[in-house]
């Protein structure tokens, strides 16, 4: 796809759904193992596994590395991603999956604002309205008055800020080859977390080895899906569609961790779904945006 290629929100949305599905299963494994291992250790194993899976493609597409533009932006994206992923893995084992997901749903709002201010993307009034409805749904679902302030919750606040900034950096690097973006991200995670992983290393139980490797495999494929989503789709559209991962996380929380959603959660989730469907089924003229 050339630099002048138009956005395609249908394709972008499909890639984003694949990304969300894989990430939720990866996070479910992290939540299950989080009490056994430290966050830097899990991030490091995830990165090394992902890099090994990626290496054959790196060799095949090595010409893509002959000229790398915007190196500083690549490094900034890596730094933001390291903080975001480590904080996410720290938080997921300390808060309910539903709270983790609903807190993360503030990221699309922050991303939309950043996209408008930094990327100068035109976010139409219908998308702002849909995002506002979805945010109300998130607040109802999360029921923040009954969520105690913990280190896990503080980590989630950090995730929202750095994660949103990382998405903006990714969109600024839209024309970079996917293999370059994935290599910088994966190798950067491994390099940056290696010292902390060594310091906090806990011997891996043989029964957990496959699960740790699956975190890396799911996450690496999800990253490719994420990059394709933000290459094809618009920030405003993808931000609202991202709310549908609430359904996926609740399903996994119920089936795996026996977390039964409350009535308030169901009401909030309904608002989120309605907002996402509204913007998905009526893209209208706002689909001509370009970053």
Decide if 124 contacts 278 (C-beta within 8 A): no
**Pairwise pLDDT comparison (132 vs 240), residue with the higher score:** 132
- Cα 214 from Cα 202, distance rounded (Å): 18
* pLDDT for 67 beyond 80: yes
Residues 6+ apart with CB under 8 A from 120: none
**For residue range 201-239, what is the model confidence (pLDDT) as tens digits?**
999 888 888 888 888 888 888 878 887 887 888 876 786
Mean residue pLDDT of the chain comes to: 80
Compute the distance between CA of residue 271 and CA of residue 130 in angstroms, rounded to an integer.
Answer: 9
Please give the Cα distance from 281 to 136 (Å, whole number): 21
Sign of the torsion formed by the C-alpha atoms of 23, 25, 31 and 33: negative
Q: What is the pTM of this model?
A: 0.70
């Amino acid at each position: 796809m050339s630099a002048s290629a138009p956005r395609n929100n249908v394709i972008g949305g499909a890639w984003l759904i694949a990304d969300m599905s894989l990430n939720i299963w990866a996070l479910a494994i992290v939540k299950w193992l989080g009490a056994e291992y430290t966050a830097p250790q899990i991030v490091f194993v995830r990165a090394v596994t992902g890099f090994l899976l990626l290496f054959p493609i790196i060799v095949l597409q090595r010409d893509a590395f002959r000229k790398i533009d915007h190196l500083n932006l690549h490094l900034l994206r890596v730094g933001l991603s390291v903080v975001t992923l480590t904080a996410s893995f720290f938080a997921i084992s300390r808060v309910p999956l539903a709270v983790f997901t609903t807190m993360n749903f503030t990221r699309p709002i922050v991303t939309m604002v950043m996209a408008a201010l930094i990327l100068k993307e035109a976010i139409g009034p219908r998308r702002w309205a849909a995002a506002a409805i979805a945010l109300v749904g998130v607040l109802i679902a999360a029921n923040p008055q009954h969520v105690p302030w913990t280190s896990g919750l503080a980590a989630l606040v950090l995730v929202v800020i750095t994660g949103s900034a990382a998405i903006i950096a990714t969109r600024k690097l839209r024309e970079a080859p996917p293999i370059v973006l994935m290599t910088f991200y994966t190798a950067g995670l491994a390099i940056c977390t290696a010292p902390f992983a060594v310091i906090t290393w806990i011997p891996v139980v043989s029964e957990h080895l496959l699960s740790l490797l699956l975190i890396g495999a799911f996450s690496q494929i999800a990253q490719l899906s994420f990059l394709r989503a933000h290459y094809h789709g618009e920030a405003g559209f993808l931000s609202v569609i991202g709310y549908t991962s609430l359904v996926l996380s609740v399903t996994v929380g119920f089936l795996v961790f026996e977390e039964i959603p409350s009535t308030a959660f169901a009401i909030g989730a309904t608002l989120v779904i309605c907002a996402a469907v509204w913007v998905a089924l009526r893209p209208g003229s706002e689909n001509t945006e370009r970053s």
